[in-house]
Chains A and B, each alone.
Chain A
Amino acid sequence: MQIEENKNEEFKPCIVAFCCNWCSYAGADLAGSSRLTYPADVKIIRVPCSCRVNPLFILRAFQRGADGVIICGCHPGDCHYTTGNYYARRRMTLLFGMLDYLGIERERTRVEWVSAAEGAKFAATMSDFIDTVTKLGRNRKLRDLRCKE
């Protein structure tokens, strides 16, 4: 299996980004309408608020072969629902610590605050995250735990 993957092919990570509808998703849109490029390895899932991101979604992503997961929300204090991002921040701090303990490196998970006006920040954050994950290489930890039927 490893031999298969190493066939000189450039490693393209699979990255899932959860973006809250009010700030970060809009920031991603602004990056788009400003034509700020970033690699195509990241795919965005729109959620109403960063607090909608269930830790199980992240586990699921890693289990299904994601190499990195990033959660983007409004800046602290600016959540459309007032407090959602505080919950997200606390939950993710715990989760990421645990994932790290399980062997999913800290660098594969990230929480970022991107406002609707920060298209440039969105693009830069994504480029940087993709770069970091690419350097780490493929994530095998949870994938390999999958039972093959």
Chain B
Amino acid sequence: MQRIGVFVCWCGSNIAATVDVKAVAEAAKGQPGVVFATDYQYMCSESGQTILKDAIKEYGLTGVVICSCSPRMHEATFRKAAESAGLNPYMVEIANIREQCSWIHKDMEVATEKAIILAKAAIAKVQLNKPLVAGESEVVKRALVIGGGIAGIQTALDIAEAGYKVDIVEKQPTIGGKMAQLDKTFPTLDCAACILTPKMVDVAAHENVTIYSYSEVVDVKGFVGNFTVQIKKKPRYINENLCTGCGACTEKCPMKKQPNEFNMGFDKRGAIYIPFAQAVPKLPVIDADACLMLKNGKCGLCSKICEAHAIDYTQKEEIIEERYGAIVVATGFNQIKPTQFEEYAYNTCPDVVTSLEYERLMNAAGPTKGHLQRPSDGQRPKTIVFIQCVGSRGDSCREKSYCSKICCMYTAKHAMLTKDHYPDTDIHVFYIDIRTPGKNFDEFYRRAVEQYGVDYIKGMVGKVYEENGKVMVQGSDLIDNKQITIAADMVVLASAVEPDPSARSLGTMLTASMDTNDFFTEAHAKLRPVESPTAGVFLSGMCQGPKDIPETVSQAGAAAVKVIGLLAKDKLKNNPCVAACNQSVCNGCSQCANVCPYGAITYVEKEIRTPEVREVRRVAEVNEAVCQGCGACTVTCPSSAMDLKGFTNRQIMAEVDAICR
């Protein structure tokens, strides 16, 4: 019989206001094995932990139940405290009476009754706990950053600076991401290229950084400290070692009619192209769908022109396998194409553009060399209407439920920059709310209104349509309470941002959880914002939620620090809650090995001695360093030889019994 101590936490009033903590402690006292029970205001505090430690020593406790918040919150805290008092940390169980009781029930009697049952279940479980010892495993001192936008670049730079090797995998032919497409950045209006491109060069030149551009992660195996990742290097058809990046090939290509993605399709590129002048690596890439040589073996002009003999039409896709201790997701975002919103006429009217498209139209390095021209006829627009919250903050299925966060600010930026170039432009902005929480953000927005005279209209747009060469915008002005129609030359839609579409499959590969919008979930929304719940996977930038550049950069740095903290360790403690085989009943049927996702089960010939038999036979053996403790094998095993430490059959049955009694 264990000697169990039960500690009921008030959590200030979080628990104590709805659960009679004294009654819970009192009820616990009557349970078999319980030799001590008490309640305290904050068990997780220094003094609360002292109560725990003192009781362990004074009463010689062999098992502990803490009735408190979720084990996902403080299980580690209490285990550590118990360990420091000489108790095996796995002799601690948590009864979750906050998130799963006091916070969801209002009636004191009901909540108390439930809390008592939850405490009893935990007591019944801890009766059967056994001390567990965690094994150790090596940490591979190399990090992988997936995505080479500003988030990935910053994370990689910070990790590399600390002295660790880091690889960046970027699916585009160049790193730089969305930020490379931007003109100026709010609220300081410094030019995006001037602050980003030096970083791109730095990261590429760093001795600790390897960049796999035009590559994708296709498989991830392993776990924290030791991931094995397969990276698919798509063929560029260029020999990277020979190419000098002169660009002569791109000029001679006869297939010059391909839409240029970097300029949002506003101009054309060849079948062989360098995405933009400051691309890193500065290597061309051949678009296999457009290249005549690759399609039907005729042409080969670029190869003839290339003095370095770097064109290689035979290049094949390559799979690179590498091991990593930590993985950072920095897959970024996309701005949605608002094609499903017919009211904004994005599909039908060429002068209705998204703000990222507008960004290219304003950019000195863009398709119009920075001269603002409307797409339909190349005229300079005199009246521009900006519409905010397109596809954000909605509750219908075609809209995103969240606020895209950056639109208010970049719209103010667009308005100001436009006015700077062409002061006579008439600018109207339809908005629902203006959101400017950020350093110097509100000042920035007010400058747009007060200094630049931008006309902000609180209201929504009902319809956009073409009439006599104008783009008519019909909307409501909620402040003056009237309907208005503006005859504009151009309309810019601040459409919602969404996680990059590659995030979903990557999340599955990493077994990292995502929310309903496909943003990665953090391990704890407040206390562990850059870690995924999956150990060893970290989050940087927009893949976790909408954010602007300064926030992205700070999160990137934070993720890097977490990675460095992990890589600085030589060994990691494994999870000791792994499968164990009772070999005396195992008959070597192999069913467990079939369902094990990690290949952690092997078979050995072993002499089995029980009172009934004495024979050499094939039995299962679990590799504890590889097992992750899911428990699939335990249920599959027809002879119940497999069990899971920490969640044994008997423990779970005991919980069931305690709940159903």
Contact = CB atoms under 8 A, between A and B. Distances in A.
Interface of A: 14, 16, 21-23, 25-26, 28-29, 31-33, 35-38, 40, 43-49, 51-57, 60-61, 64-66, 74, 77-84, 87, 91, 115-118, 123
Interface in B154-185: none
Interface string B76-116: 00000000000000000000101111011110001101100
A16 B654 CA distance: 13
A40 B101 CA distance: 8
A45 B631 contact: no
A28 B99 contact: yes
B interface: dominant SS:
helix
Contact of B632 (A49, A61, A64): A49
Given A46-B71, A117-B521, A65 B100 contact: no
Interface residues of B, number: 52
22 contacts: A29-B96, A31-B104, A36-B104, A37-B106, A40-B105, A43-B659, A49-B630, A52-B632, A52-B635, A52-B652, A54-B634, A55-B635, A57-B656, A61-B659, A65-B660, A78-B511, A78-B514, A81-B628, A81-B632, A115-B515, A117-B513, A117-B521
B605 interface: no
A77 B104 contact: no
A101 B29 CA distance: 42
A45 B516 contact: no
Contacts of A44: 96, 100
A117 B515 contact: yes
B507 interface: yes
B635 A43 contact: no
Contacts of A82: 508, 511, 597
A52 B631 contact: yes
B623 to A, nearest CB: 15
B508 A77 contact: yes
Given A38-B104, A51-B631, A79 B661 contact: no
A123 B100 contact: no
Interface in B495-529: 507-508, 511, 513-516, 521
A46 B501 CA distance: 32
A107 to B, nearest CB: 18
Contact of B659 (A28, A45, A53, A117): A45
B511 A45 contact: no
A48 B660 contact: no
B512 to A, nearest CB: 9
Contact of A37 (B99, B105, B508, B513): B105
B100 A64 contact: no
B631 A47 contact: yes
Given A64-B660, A77-B508, A48 B103 contact: no
A77 B634 CA distance: 21
Nearest to B660: A64
A48 B631 contact: yes
B647 interface: yes
Given A49-B630, A54-B649, A115 B513 contact: yes
